[in-house]
Amino acid sequence: AGYETFKDDSIHNNELTNVSKTTNEIEASRVPEEVPKMVAEKEIPEQKDKEIEEEIKAAQEKEQKIQDTNKQEEANTEEASSTGLTINHKVQKGETFLGIANRYNLSQSKLQKMNTDVMPDNLKIGVTTLKVKIQAMHTVGAGDVLRVVAQKYGVTKQAIMDANNKTKDFAARGEKLIIPIK
């Protein structure tokens, strides 16, 4: 009573032999050529498991890439929001602190933090100048329409119209548009 080991003693790649070696006997037999084809055509559970594991791993890697991309986009959005551009807005007749904040898609508290020296209920028309954070200034080019410009910067067309005090959906070529933060 011993143990059994298997050894491949084939000389060429297309030759397949099966040698069974026990402590009592050695037996070599040639495997018919049809057998490997039959085995290859039939799914082997271990191979199927490996294929499934590889598919799962590929799906997990793809999901991770998507999550990493989303995190990067969020970071870029936050960076754009925190860096952006700062412009000066001179208070016009009929404007309020809250109205100006809304116009530039800012919270009232964020606008207040940017203008600590200004009292929100003490705005003077034509005198008070507020620092306002925006995403960008866009120069209208040939064929630019507000809807497409809005999509480019990830804001609504209405937000661009509000920031630029527009009542009509029109921008002239060469006009500089204020793009509010997201």
User: What is the spatial distance between Cα 160 and Cα 138, in angstroms, rounded to a whole number?
Assistant: 10
For position 64, what pLDDT does the model report? 76
For position 53, what pLDDT does the model report? 79
For position 110, what pLDDT does the model report? 93
User: What is the spatial distance between Cα 113 and Cα 5, in angstroms, rounded to a whole number?
Assistant: 79
User: What is the spatial distance between Cα 177 and Cα 123, in angstroms, rounded to a whole number?
Assistant: 25
Average pLDDT for consecutive 10-residue bins of the chain (182 residues)?
A: 57 53 46 56 64 79 71 47 80 94 93 93 92 94 91 94 92 94 88
Q: Which strands sit side by side in the sheet containing 26-30, from one edge to the other?
A: 5-7, 17-21, 26-30
Token pair in block for residue 152:
């480019």
